[in-house]
Each structure stands twice: as structure tokens, then as C-alpha cells.
Structure 1
Amino acid sequence: MPPPVLPDELLEEVFFRLPPDEPEHLLCASLVSKVWLGLLSAPRFRARYRDFHGAPPMLGFLCSLRSNSVHEAEDNIPHFLPTTKFRARIPDDDWGCWGYTAWDCRHGRVLLGDQSYQPVPLVVWDPMTGCRRELDSPDQLRRSYGAAVFCAVAGCDHRACHAGPFQVLYIGVDTIEDGEYVARACLSLPVTGDWSKPCSGSRFNKWNEPCSALHLGPIAFWDELSPVFVQDALHFKLVYYLDNHIAILKYDLGSNCLSLIDAPLAGSILLNASILVAMEDGRLGFANVDMLTIHLWSRQRGSDGIASWTQRTVININNLLPIHNPNKILRLIGSVEGRDIIFVAMGLDIYGINLKTLRWKKLQKRKKLCGLILYMSFYNPQERVIPGDAAH
């Protein structure tokens, strides 16, 4: 006699416990039978699976190499390095003649650019399906850049929203007299992809009044790391190379305003010694490494309405990681938004450290990376690569 058939409710409870950072298990389960395929591909199961696991897993990361757009000949995916058995999907034409590098990744989408051309060609790429959308950078903002991609759907939980409308923020820098710099911003529209006027528009295009350009002072450059998204605002780290001090450029999506925030540390800071962090409690964090010690601050608003930095913790890396040479130089190269996790590099070794639990995990990589841009999403085994024409 045939084996008993489990009810859908019991099958779901089993499938819920398949780890999200091992997506091959869901794929294999979907191939067992049409019944299992239908169950796993149903919107109801996918929503409950995400609720069961909470935050999306890290499926891989990309390298931020904006200062060098030269690619190795075998790189058909722009610096995508999987941390699971998930493999990113690319369009049929393998990116054509462009030498794209990763600029940002958020809400299941990757922002790529090729700064060797003017205007800079941009691509928003979905590694889950291979779908991409090409954009030209704003004609009026050609010098320097800071760029970010994010979901444009109000109320979205951003756990598996890679197929919905998105927006791109592009910030350019102009030189004014006496070597001073000013920043201006443009925001793409979710449907058409057209650009707003410099420093104009809002997240949902409710108004189109320009905001004032922001004065940056002399010789400010963008950090190689991608920005962090905190409290409906994007934060970019700026480096002033005259004295190596750090500042934070903030673009508030709600008020459509650019502003500058002082870092909690004054004076000269090494380029790879500090990083911005989107904390789990929804606050902006700032981490800095000094020799083998990590100092962590968070920014919070007091009862007087004024925001300030508060030191949260000090972590001695020598007591945490297996460091055999205490003279090795530590570099902070990435963080996980909303998870209190940062990534520390020592030579070719990369460690992910949870700032709350102090648990760590080593990523075995052979290349010395400038920065990590994490790709996080729940895997849907039913999604397939779409034809190259449609991917455009």
C-alpha cells in the first residue's frame, strides 16, 4: 500500500526548519513532487517561511572596488563571492562591454557602475533572477559620486522585495572657488527611472521642490564602503585627505535634505580603521579599530531633541579572535544593516563579529578585499533567469 501522505500543515512545519542560508535544500525539496513544488512556491508558504526565520540570510557578498574598475578576464559576475551554494544569475549578454564594479546592495538589489565612462553607466541588478535595469547617471552631476539603491514600496519589510519598484540616490560633488566642494543629490523615480532635479524630489515623489546644495569644505572624498540605511536616511562616510578626519553625509528621504554629521572621533583616522553601522536598535553606529581594540559608538537623540554620540562598548580583539601575530593591521571592511555585525580583515582572513554576543565566524577568502557589500535575501527556488531582452 502507498505510504501515508502528510497534511500540508505538517509539511510546512518541516520545511520551515530548512535553514535559509542553505538554499539548496529548498530547491531539492521542490523537485521531489508536484505537490511539494506547489507548496513551496505558494505565496502563503514563502511569507510564513520569512516570518519564521526573521531577517534574510547572507547569500554572498560583492567587493567594493570603485577606485579600480579593472576586472579579471574570468569575472563574468562583478566580484560576486557566494557564502552559500546560492549562485547569482546574470543576464544573457554577460554585461556587454562594461567593466562594472559594485557600489551598493540593499533590499535584494545590487547597484553597479563603471566610472571609466562619462556619464557613468549604472545598473540595478537582481542576482536572484538575473533581471537588470540600466540607468545613465544624472547629466548635471558628473563629478565624483555617492550612490545607493533601496526599495521604493511604503511599508515593505524588505525581506524578499527584490522584484518591486526601487529608487537610486546619486550624489555628485562640484568644485567652487578656493577649492571648496558642494554636494548635490538626485533621486530616480520608481517607475520611469528618470532623475529628479539636483537635490530635489522625495522618496515617493510627493513634491519636487529643490533643496539647497550642501557645503563640504576642501577636498572631501567618498569612502570605498557602501552607505548605511538608518531611520529612513542614507549615511555616507566622507574622508578629508588634508588631515584624514572623518565626517558623515546624511540624506534624509523624508525631509529631502542633505546634512553633515561629525564623527565621534576628532582628528586623523586611518582610512580602513572606521566604519558606519546600521544598528539592530535602529540607530546609527560608528566603529573604529585602534591596534587590536574596537570602539563602538551609537547616535541617539536626547530629551532636548539634540542628537549626540554615546560610546557603547570596547572590544579587545586579541581576546576574541585567534590572532597569532599581534602586529597585524586590522581593517574594518563591512557591516550587516540592522544586525550588529561587522567584518574585520587581517591580511587575507576575514571575520564576521557580532557586536552584542561577540560570536564570530571566519570567511575563507583568497583575495585582499577593499570592502564587503553583502547580498541578503530569502531564496525562492521557483524564480528563473529571464531572457536577456526582458532583463533590460
Structure 2
Amino acid sequence: MPPPPTPATRPAPTLPDELIEEVFLRLPPDEPSSLVRASLASSFWLSLLTGTSFSVRYREFHDAPPMLGFFYSWLHDDRPDDEGDPPVQRFAFTTKFGARIPEVEEWDDYEALDCRHGRVLFENPFGCPAPLFVWDPMTGCTRYLEKPDGCWGDGATVVCAVSGCDHRLCDGGPVRVVFFMTGDGDGCVAHVSVALLEMDDAWSESSDLDLELEWTLSPGLELEATHAFIPEIMPPVLIEDALYFMLSIVDGVCDMAILKYDMASDSLSLIDLPDVRSNGLPLKDHSFIPMAMGDGNLGFAQVDGLTLNLWSSSIHTGAEGLASWTQHIIVDLKNLLPIQNPEKSLRLIGSVEGSDIIFITTDLGIYQISLKSLRWKKLWKSEKFSALIPYMSFYNPQERINPYDEAH
């Protein structure tokens, strides 16, 4: 007898389109290669994942953008002679993603000053082909510009210029570059200059340098100070419409302060730090950082030996917009982080705005710590960085995966 006929196989059940989208919404944003691989599976998935509707929902679902990597700068005497040949100078990929890397002349001479809202501000101390340029790694757009006239001892930053933007999906929009300068001598005067830049494909395809861009100079404010200040090398922090720069005194008195620039009112003010000196000793370099806390307040973190102290202050009340500082976290880092040599100084080198995450170096590596949960992870090998600037952004799966893999 012939064998019985094989029953017809039923096609595998398929999920409704709306459920497929719900699954993709839950892919972790700090692993952008997952979205890329999914987009390559079929033309329908590619269309879904690269559509504007999904991009908006994905950003709303995850709220805060993930860290895809970080820029860094070296301490003055510790920069290695040979940094290798990475795709982006002084940038460490912590995930696989395809940044659109520009063709920049003298790329090795540029160093990141700040990174915010998906854009990076670079400076070239030699000024060739231009002292500054802004880069959007997701779109590849770049803009070159000169510094304001007469700047020295300066601090600079870049911020999104779109009013009311939640900064989840502002790639390609205009940005503000903010530069502030301090005069010398008693009763020093601080000035702020602001440039508005369009960041779009037209500028990306243009080879013209925007060296004639007009800076808008603020009226300036005479600060109630008896000493000259200069900004620290760390980037400022942004809270609502105000930027907070760390300043240090340069004329014989070891002291620090915070300069607040309110972009809404175009005004400047000086803010005293909390009393953080133990045993009457001055603050040490890289032992402190300002923070934009997750609750919207201004924070100040400081390491004293193996102890981490955190203060916070409301930005809405008190003199000059600030209430008194309140210390609310003291952490014994010796019992938290791997530390081989407790005699070696720990250094604070950065933070993530709008969160309670800081970056700290020990003799065994660079660590990321959540001050809320006290969870930590090793981010990089031990390096003598002076600043770590996180690159926070959602990823568009239309871009390619970057072959430069994290090897640390």
C-alpha cells in the first residue's frame, strides 16, 4: 500500500502589525545594533523601523536617550604620543552605531568642548581651518565658525535652539553656541556671546567656512568679585534655560564658584559653593563637578579621599535663584568600587545631565555610578582623562553599524 499522504503544513502564525511594533518598542535603546539587525530582516520591518511614527513612539517610550559613547580630553602632561587611528578623534564607542563621520581637515588637532542634544562642539587651538566646529553625528552635518573677538580664559557649550523642544528628536534643527569670557582684575566683568547656527543638509554639503558669523554679545554683568576667575576645563551643565559653569580663582586665592547664565533673561550671576573643605584644605583639581540632577535641581559632587559627598540646591528659590545647599548623600567608595591602591587620588570627570549618574576614575578604571541606586559598572580602562563628555542620543536604524568595536 502506498504511504498515507503527508498532511499539508500550516503556515506559521503571524503577529498583527501593531503587536510587531509593540515588540520593537521594547528593544533596548543602548543596543542600537538590535534595531539595525531587525530592519534588515524584511522590507516591511525596514519601513516600520525607519518611519517617523515609530521614531517618535520609540523616543517617547524610553524617554531619556541612551549613552552611545563618550568624548574625552587628556590631562595636560598625560596625552599619549600615539592615540592610534580611531574613526573619531578622542571618542570612545560604548555601543555599535554608525556615526556619519565628517571629512575634517586637521582632525587630530580638534578636541571636544561639549556635547548636548545630539551635537558636539569642537575646538582647534591652532585655528586651522577654523577655531570651532559643530558636528551632528547622526546626520553628519558640520558648521565651522570663528571665536568671538577678544576671548581668553573662555568656556563654551552647544544647546538646541528650538523653543519648547523635548530634545528627543531634534537632529537637524538649529543650535546655539554659547561662549563666555571673563576679564581680569578686581570686580571682573563676564561677557556672554551667542551664535545661532542652522544644522541641515545644505550646510553639510557646503565647503564654505562660516567665519563671518555674527556673534550676539550680551550686555555683560559686573560680578561682585574681588578676584579674577577663569572657567574650569569641564563642560557646563544645563538646567531648564540656565547654564552653570565652574570657575576657579587665578590670582593667588584657591577658591571656586559657579557662574550661572540664564539664557531666558540674558543675565549672569555668581553662586557660592557649599562648604566642602575638610580640615581647612583647599579643593583639589578633579575632586568636584557640578551636576544637573534628575529632580531638576543643581547638584555638586566632591570626593574627599575615598568618600563621595553630594549636595543639591533648588534653582527656584533663594538669593540669585538658589536656596541653601543641602548635603544628602555620603558614599564610602572603598566599599563600593574596586580600588587597588587607596592612596591614589580618585577623580570626578563628568556626569549625565538630568540624572544622578557620575563618572569617576580609580587606579583600576573609569566607572559609571548611579548615585540613586549606587549601582556601578566599569566603563573603560584606567586613563588619565581630564573630562568625560557623554554622547546621548537615540539611534536611527537607517544608519550603518560602525565596525569600530569597543575593545575595552
TM-score (norm 1): 0.87
In the other structure, the counterpart of 1:114 is 124
In the other structure, the counterpart of 1:30 is 39
Decide whether aligned partners of structure 1 residues 222 and 383 sit closer, same or farther in structure 2, where only a CA change above 3 A counts. Answer: same
Decide whether aligned partners of structure 1 residues 95 and 215 sit closer, same or farther in structure 2, where only a CA change above 3 A counts. Answer: farther
Residue-by-residue CA offset, 1:334-359 (whole Å, 9 max, x unaligned): 00001110111013511111111111
CA contact (8 A) 1:184 1:214 kept: no
Deviation at 1:116, TM superposition (A): 2.8
Residue 244 (structure 1) aligned with residue 254 (structure 2): yes
In the other structure, the counterpart of 1:44 is 53
Deviation at 1:365, TM superposition (A): 2.3
Listed as ranges, the gaps of 5+ residues in structure 1 are: 200-209, 386-392
In the other structure, the counterpart of 2:137 is 127
Q: Output the CA distance in 1 between the equivalents of 2:236 and 2:296.
A: 15
- Listed as ranges, the matches of 1:323-342 within 5 Å are 323-342=339-358
- Listed as ranges, the matches of 1:342-357 within 5 Å are 342-347=358-363, 349-357=365-373
* AA matched with 2:37: C
Q: Output the CA distance in 2 between the equivalents of 1:346 and 1:65.
A: 15
Greater Rg over alpha carbons, structure: 2
SS at match of 2:344: coil
Deviation at 1:266, TM superposition (A): 6.0
Residue-by-residue CA offset, 1:78-125 (whole Å, 9 max, x unaligned): 21101111243311x244466110100000001101123399611111
Listed as ranges, the gaps of 5+ residues in structure 2 are: 1-9, 200-209, 402-408
Equivalent of 2:93 in 79, 82, 99: 82
Q: For the aligned residues, what is the CA RMSD? A: 2.6
Aligned residues: 371
Q: Which moved more, 1:117-126 or 1:290-299?
A: 117-126
CA contact (8 A) 2:114 2:158 kept: yes
Equivalent of 2:286 in 248, 272, 278: 272
CA contact (8 A) 2:365 2:381 kept: yes
TM-score (norm 2): 0.83
Q: Output the CA distance in 1 between the equivalents of 2:233 and 2:126.
A: 16
Q: Output the CA distance in 2 between the equivalents of 1:37 and 1:3.
A: 21
Return structure 1 stretches of 4+ with deviation > 6 angstroms. 68-71
Q: Output the CA distance in 2 between the equivalents of 1:15 and 1:28.
A: 12
- Listed as ranges, the matches of 1:155-174 within 5 Å are 155-174=164-183
Deviation at 1:276, TM superposition (A): 0.4
Deviation at 1:328, TM superposition (A): 2.4
Decide whether aligned partners of structure 1 residues 134 and 159 sit closer, same or farther in structure 2, where only a CA change above 3 A counts. Answer: same
- Listed as ranges, the matches of 1:106-255 within 5 Å are 106-117=116-127, 121-138=131-148, 140-175=149-184, 181-191=188-198, 194-199=213-218, 210-214=219-223, 217-241=226-250, 242-255=252-265
* AA matched with 2:157: A
Q: Output the CA distance in 1 between the equivalents of 2:82 and 2:267.
A: 36
Q: Output the CA distance in 1 between the equivalents of 2:373 and 2:177.
A: 34
CA contact (8 A) 2:139 2:171 kept: no
Deviation at 1:3, TM superposition (A): 3.9
* AA matched with 1:58: M
